[in-house]
Amino acid sequence: MLELKNISFEAETDGVKKQILRDISLKIDERFVAVTGPNGGGKSTLARVITGVNTPTSGSILFDGEDITGMSITERAKKGISFAFQQPVRFKGITVYDLISLAAGKKLSVSEACSYLSEVGLCARDYVNREVNASLSGGEIKRVEIATMLARSTRLTIFDEPEAGIDIWSFTNLINVFEKMYQKIQGNIIIISHQERILDIADRIIVLADGRIAADGTKAEVMPTLSKQKPIVCDVLTEKL
Amino acid sequence: MELDLIQKKLLEQVADLHGIPEGAYNIRSDGKLAGRSTTAHIDIVTKSDKPGIDIYIKDGTKNESVHIPVIIEQTGLNDLVYNDFYVGEDCDVVIVAGCGISNCGGKESRHDGIHSFHVGKNSKVKYIEKHYGEGTGTGGRVMNPTTIVELDENAHMEMETTQIKGINDTLRKTSGKLAAKASLIIHEKIMTTGEQRAETDFSVDLDGEGSSANVVSRSVAKDKSSQLFRSMINGNNKCAGHTECDAIIMDAASVTAMPQLTANSVEASLIHEAAIGKIAGEQLTKLMTLGLTEKEAEDQIVAGFLK
């Protein structure tokens, strides 16, 4: 179970401080939790704070009752937190096989690595020896990223917009991947997404807007509030109008 | 011949050999001939006017290999050697050279290998060269390999040159002269540590119509080491040339990249790329989210980069 207590995060760009997360408190123990909300609302920052990439300005994070706020990225990963990036990182010379093996934490057999690739809809034979470099398309590297999450199989996995770059035909398979993943590891899965079909399978939906929790509940509870959200309009434009 | 343990280790490092190789070979140990074998198609002859050997590969020789490793254990040895390869027409051969120095003494051990390749029409040569140094002594380990390549019409040569750690000082000179439709591919991998210095100097003349060259260097400079990469391609005819230097810089190291292109023909198409930078923070972060420590992540990235 993941618990956030009064998490705030402030970033400074060009000397100007901006509050990205404002006093967020949450307990997450559901199977699938979807985090949604407008761009710039703090969703990715929340994922980065949970995984240790960003350090919160204040507040604390508990994972299965243990305070992990002061832990490094590596320590949190070892405790069982995984993070699929919105924009997966590319490496010169590191192959898909290498990356999946690193994720699994052991040297896998080629057939084991291939089975993870097949699960995400990649023809394993064509990909296992490819480098995770610029030659992979956005959709391909995104699937490789998801395959590494399967190889890790940890108690908590956070996906940051996993659907981005994946074609609509493969989308159903992607949802099956999440279902299977849950069956296999029985861990919590947090998915940051704007896709209604992902929101459909979520046990709980959290709406983040302007760094705050704007809504939190089941789909039936949250969806009506989503449509009532005020669109964000640029102040300057409003003044001109 | 029998090899001792240090010789075996050096051979393994520079030539991936676990003993005496199959096929044609010439092993030079501490400046002297330590073993030689020739085949029906490949002859090796000791030079009479200067140190070194001539290697003759007959026309039509296919799927054969030549190993010419050099190993040095004697501290203070200054070894200069000329190896000339004469590859006939229509051949397809693999040549493995390399030098391993194990210097446990206090004096500088040095190997200057000057290799020239005369590759005949329609022949294919894969040339693998590795340089390796080890030893607990304070004496320096210095290597200055020179490679001169002449490719006749439609000849193709692929050269892989690797120097990972252990060599204190190196000046690596490679030059190529290509006839019509000939192609030359060079992949260089270098890692320097401590206060090591590595200088690379490529110069390729694309003389023949339809000739092409691709010179790619990947390097990692750690600690206080320094590297200088110079790559010059001259397009003298309708040809295609590409040179690329990609370096990772770490700690207090220094890297200079100097690609240089000259087109002497309007039909020459030449490109250079050079990139020097530290390991991207997001690469480290990604591998750390997979459970690696920062040091482990760094090692993986460097190993992948130089693979």
Task: Tell me which residues of chain A, numbers 60 to 119, contact chain B at a CB-CB cutoff of 8 Å.
Answer: 72-74, 77-78, 81-83, 85, 88-89, 91-95, 98, 102-103, 105
Q: Inform me whether the pLDDT recorded for A66 exceeds 80.
A: yes
Chain A hits for B218, Cβ within 8 Å: 92
pTM over 0.90: no
Ramachandran angles phi, psi of B16, nearest 5°: 50, 35
Amino acid A19: pLDDT: 92
Query: Domain residues for B251?
Result: 5-278
Distance CA A98, CA A107 (A): 8
Q: Which of A136, A111, A144 is nearest to A125 (CA)?
A: A111
Distance CA A21, CA A19 (A): 6
Average pLDDT, chain B: 91
Q: Using 50, 70 and 90 to split pLDDT, how confident is the model at A170? A: confident
> Which among A94, A145, A159 is the top mutation candidate for probing chain B, defined by the most B β-carbons within 10 Å of its own β-carbon?
A94
The nearest alpha carbon in chain A to B290 belongs to A103
Q: Which of A9, A21, A2, A20 is nearest to A58 (CA)?
A: A9
Q: Where are the domains of chain A?
A: 2-88+153-240
Amino acid A130: pLDDT: 94
Neighbours of A150 (CB within 10 A): 22
Is B305 touching A (CB cutoff 8 A)?
yes
Q: Using 50, 70 and 90 to split pLDDT, how confident is the model at A166? A: confident
Is A53 touching B (CB cutoff 8 A)?
yes
Q: Using 50, 70 and 90 to split pLDDT, how confident is the model at A230? A: low
* Least CB–CB distance from B288: residue in A73, A95, A152: A73
Is residue B263 within 8 Å of B235, Cβ to Cβ? yes
Distance CA B218, CA B261 (A): 19
DSSP category for residue A131: B
Q: Which residues contact A241 (CB under 8 A, 6 or more apart)?
A: none
Give the residue-averaged pLDDT of A88-113.
94
Chain B hits for A152, Cβ within 8 Å: 290-291
Is residue A25 within 8 Å of A58, Cβ to Cβ? no
Rg of the Cα atoms in chain B: 20
For residue B179, being part of any structural domain is answered with yes
| Per-residue model confidence as pLDDT tens digits over B251-299 | 999 999 999 999 999 999 999 999 999 999 999 999 999 999 999 999 9
Amino acid B140: pLDDT: 77
* Least CB–CB distance from B301: residue in A78, A82, A91: A91
Distance CA B199, CA A26 (A): 57
* Least CB–CB distance from B290: residue in A92, A95, A103: A103
Q: Which residues contact B42 (CB under 8 A, 6 or more apart)?
A: B23, B24, B55, B56, B57, B58, B61, B64, B66, B93
Q: Which of B204, B130, B208, B113 is nearest to B165 (CA)?
A: B130
Amino acid B19: pLDDT: 61
Distance CA A111, CA B194 (A): 40
Q: Inform me whether the pLDDT recorded for A129 exceeds 80.
A: yes
Amino acid B11: pLDDT: 73
Q: Which of A77, A84, A50 is nearest to A181 (CA)?
A: A84
Chain B hits for A98, Cβ within 8 Å: 300, 304
Amino acid A121: pLDDT: 84
Average pLDDT, chain A: 89
Amino acid B190: pLDDT: 94
- ∠ CA(A23), CA(A187), CA(A225), 5° rounding? 45
A196 vs B43, residue with greater confidence: B43
Give the residue-averaged pLDDT of A174-192.
87
In single-letter form, the type of residue at position B286 comes to K
Look-up of token digits 């997966």: A88
Contact B283 A91 (CB under 8 A): yes
Rg of the Cα atoms in chain A: 19
Q: Render B97-131 in DSSP notation, one character per residue.
A: EEEEEE--SSS-EEEEEEEEEEE-TT-EEEEEEEE
Amino acid B138: pLDDT: 74
Give the residue-averaged pLDDT of A96-123.
91
Helix (H) or strand (E) holding A88: none
Chain A hits for B292, Cβ within 8 Å: 74, 102
Q: Inform me whether the pLDDT recorded for A138 exceeds 70.
A: yes
Contact B287 A152 (CB under 8 A): no
Q: Which alpha helices (H) appear in A70-137, and where do they start and end?
A: 73-79, 96-104, 110-119, 124-127
Distance CA B88, CA A42 (A): 68
Q: Using 50, 70 and 90 to split pLDDT, how confident is the model at A182? A: confident
Is residue B143 within 8 Å of B70, Cβ to Cβ? no
The nearest alpha carbon in chain B to A80 belongs to B291
Chain A hits for B300, Cβ within 8 Å: 94, 98, 102
Distance CA B9, CA B4 (A): 9
Chain B hits for A103, Cβ within 8 Å: 290
What are the angstrom distances between the C-alpha of A59 and each of A2, A10, A75? 14, 12, 19
For residue B296, being part of any structural domain is answered with no
Chain A hits for B303, Cβ within 8 Å: 93
Give the residue-averaged pLDDT of A221-241.
63
Give the residue-averaged pLDDT of A198-212.
93
The nearest alpha carbon in chain A to B279 belongs to A91
Task: Indicate the number of domains in chain B.
Answer: 1
Is B291 touching A (CB cutoff 8 A)?
yes
Amino acid A151: pLDDT: 94
The nearest alpha carbon in chain B to A90 belongs to B283
* Least CB–CB distance from A77: residue in B283, B288, B306: B288
Amino acid A184: pLDDT: 81
Q: Inform me whether the pLDDT recorded for A236 exceeds 60.
A: no
Distance CA B69, CA B51 (A): 15
Is A55 touching B (CB cutoff 8 A)?
no
Contact B307 A93 (CB under 8 A): yes
Strand ranges, E, within chain B: 24-29, 32-37, 42-46, 52-57, 62-72, 78-87, 92-102, 109-119, 124-134, 141-143, 146-151, 156-164, 169-178, 183-192, 197-206, 211-221, 226-235, 239-249, 254-263, 268-277
**Reported CATH class of domain A2-88+153-240:** alpha beta
Chain B hits for A88, Cβ within 8 Å: 286
**Positions of chain B with pLDDT lower than 70, given as ranges:** 1-3, 15-21
| Per-residue model confidence as pLDDT tens digits over B206-235 | 999 999 999 999 999 999 999 999 999 999
Contact A93 B306 (CB under 8 A): yes
Q: Inform me whether the pLDDT recorded for A240 exceeds 60.
A: no
